[in-house]
Amino acid sequence: RFLQQPRSGNIIMPPGPPGLPLLGNALQLPREFLHYKFVEWAKEYGPVFSLNVAGKPWLVVNNWKTAADILDRRSAVTSDRLPSIKSQQFLARNNAMVGGPHGPLWRLFRKGTHESLNIRACSAYCSMQEEEAGHTVRGLLEHPELPIEVHMSRTASSVVWRVLYGGDSLPLNQYHGGQRIEKMMDYLLKANLPLNSVVDTFPFLRPVIANSKWLRRRADEWYEEMTAIFNQFYDESCSRTVSTGSDSYRSTCKIFQAMVEKEEITKVRGAWSVGTTFMAGQDTTATQMRWFVQAMMLYPEVAKKAHEELDRVVRDRPPTFGDRENLPYIQAVVKEVLRWRPSAPLSIPHYSSEEFEYNGYVIPKGTFILDNIWATLHDPELYPDPSTFNPSRFLDEHGQVRAAPLDTHDDLLGFGHGRRVCPGKDLAVNSMYILIATLLWALEFKLPVDESGKEVVPDPMEMVDIFIAVHPKSFKFNVAPRFPDVLERLGVS
């Protein structure tokens, strides 16, 4: 308790678990699945509690109400990101907007991404997304030997690639441009892992490293290579016109190119904005779709209800975006996938840029704020029996999608809060809708069997924490076509 007391002036932090002198709660934090530990602490200390991690104040927000109060309503002062020396300053040279400060540069980045990804702009990508859903069915049927992560990663990358860079559909099982970015991203993500950066643990080393070419050499090489890749994709994109099916659109690169021409942003920052958006948008959507496949194998009664709805509404032709309003159960499956297994259970941490007041507490400037999305989406008060995959929880007594209760973000779950809310949320939900509808229309998901004929049942609690994102552990799957000529019907034979 002593360590939760004000450190200076009138700071009053909410209570939290007691810690050790100097180290505070640092040794009590598990290295992975922090969100589970926070759920335990929230039961004891309430939905918003504080920690002291080696002298640094942390605030953990664990339900929809506190998230709305702190991250939405006070977003003017709770939308910063932790200043990270290794990843932001040395690796990305302050060009990575996702982890960057809440300032003028970030506003330009949001302006460009919003123009490209807002809900109206997204309508231009629908025919491309329908086509990608068809390619995914073909991939699953023609290459069932490939792991589910390879299929879903191709699909998610391809959609984001085509929107951001206006390129062609990405191939399955062949090295492509998107993978060049993904490979590089790994190093940047790992630099953010707690205690993975010497300079962030001991910030007094910053000037020493900044002034030594030899100590900085790995970071410099990484930056040069990343920038060359981003610039190459950006230049190629700026010279193409995109047209898919009945739609044509400006790639995100072209939107940033117009901003570069108006001298609002430099070219290198435009290229980095697009590249880091690709990084943020690819893995998240792919992870949600892997959970969807697992859920369909574990909950065949859900797949059956979805098949009944699709058979009644679209019958023997593939679903389209035009069918969405008539497919409430499919919409509810999309919501339940996002609720059941959010791909970023602790969101991306926020940081307070000013001292602020909340419920009688006074939270200091420089507080690391963790949004425990997992706790919110597994709160039994809002979602009874939260560990069961049950899309019907989102439907009213007439079988229609129920209106989202105030402040719950029930209409777009798992995309974060406040000014930092995910700018790709509408594109992601559109991708998930058309993929889920098309995969369920085209395929029967079954549990695979082992050599002795026994069903292999995946455990939905087996997950891999890779910092920010949490994936399902790799699992086997089995699919069969629901129509003998399914690929012809999809136009992808």
Q: Which residues are CB-contacts of 1 (< 8 A; sequence separation ≥ 6)?
A: 15, 18
Q: Provide the greatest CA pair distance for the chain.
A: 73
Question: Of 23, 150, 229, 348, which lies in the binding site for ligand HEM, with binding defined by CB under 6 A?
Answer: 348
> Considering only 140-148, 199-207, 297-305, 410-418, which stretch makes contact with ligand HEM by CB under 6 A?
410-418
Asked if residue 157 binds ligand HEM (CB under 6 A), the reply is no
What is the smallest separation between the CB atom of 417 and ligand HEM, expressed in angstroms? 5
Asked if residue 417 binds ligand HEM (CB under 6 A), the reply is yes
Residues 256-285 contacting ligand HEM, CB under 6 A: 277, 280-281, 284-285
> Considering only 38-46, 296-304, 386-394, 409-417, which stretch makes contact with ligand HEM by CB under 6 A?
409-417
Q: How would you class 438 by CB atoms within 10 Å of its CB: exposed for 0-12, middle for 13-18, buried for 19 or more?
A: buried
- Measured from the CB atom, the residue of 51 and 98 that comes closer to ligand HEM is 98
- Measured from the CB atom, the residue of 52 and 430 that comes closer to ligand HEM is 430
What is the smallest separation between the CB atom of 418 and ligand HEM, expressed in angstroms? 6
Feature table: binding site for heme: 422
> Considering only 295-303, 384-392, 399-407, 408-416, which stretch makes contact with ligand HEM by CB under 6 A?
408-416
Q: Which residues are CB-contacts of 325 (< 8 A; sequence separation ≥ 6)?
A: none
Feature table: binding site: 422
Q: Whole-angstrom Cα distance, residue 86 to residue 465?
A: 21
Query: Six-digit token pair at 149?
Result: 């992560």
Question: Of 421, 466, 469, 487, which lies in the binding site for ligand HEM, with binding defined by CB under 6 A?
Answer: 421
Place of tokens 């891999």: 464
Nearest partner of 399 among 332, 338, 308, judged by Cα: 332
User: Do 149 and 173 touch, CB atoms closer than 8 A?
Assistant: no
What is the smallest separation between the CB atom of 280 and ligand HEM, expressed in angstroms? 3
Dihedral of CA 20/23/25/31: which sign? negative
Residues 230-249 contacting ligand HEM, CB under 6 A: none
Q: Whole-angstrom Cα distance, residue 94 to residue 87?
A: 9
Residues 72-111 contacting ligand HEM, CB under 6 A: 98, 110
Question: Of 139, 391, 424, 458, which lies in the binding site for ligand HEM, with binding defined by CB under 6 A?
Answer: 424
Query: Six-digit token pair at 11?
Result: 């700071």
Asked if residue 344 binds ligand HEM (CB under 6 A), the reply is yes
- Measured from the CB atom, the residue of 116 and 390 that comes closer to ligand HEM is 116
User: DSSP alpha helices (H): ranges in 124-193?
Assistant: 126-142, 148-165, 177-191
Residue at 356: amino acid letter = F
DSSP state letter for 388:
S
Asked if residue 422 binds ligand HEM (CB under 6 A), the reply is yes
Question: Of 160, 302, 369, 490, which lies in the binding site for ligand HEM, with binding defined by CB under 6 A?
Answer: 160
Residue at 466: amino acid letter = I
Dihedral of CA 387/390/396/402: which sign? positive
Q: Whole-angstrom Cα distance, residue 163 to residue 83?
A: 30
Query: Six-digit token pair at 4?
Result: 């939760």
Question: Of 19, 423, 458, 472, which lies in the binding site for ligand HEM, with binding defined by CB under 6 A?
Answer: 423
- Measured from the CB atom, the residue of 4 and 95 that comes closer to ligand HEM is 95
Name the site residues for ligand HEM (rule: CB under 6 A). Answer: 98, 110, 113, 160, 277, 280-281, 284-285, 288, 343-344, 347-348, 350, 371, 414-417, 420-424, 427-428
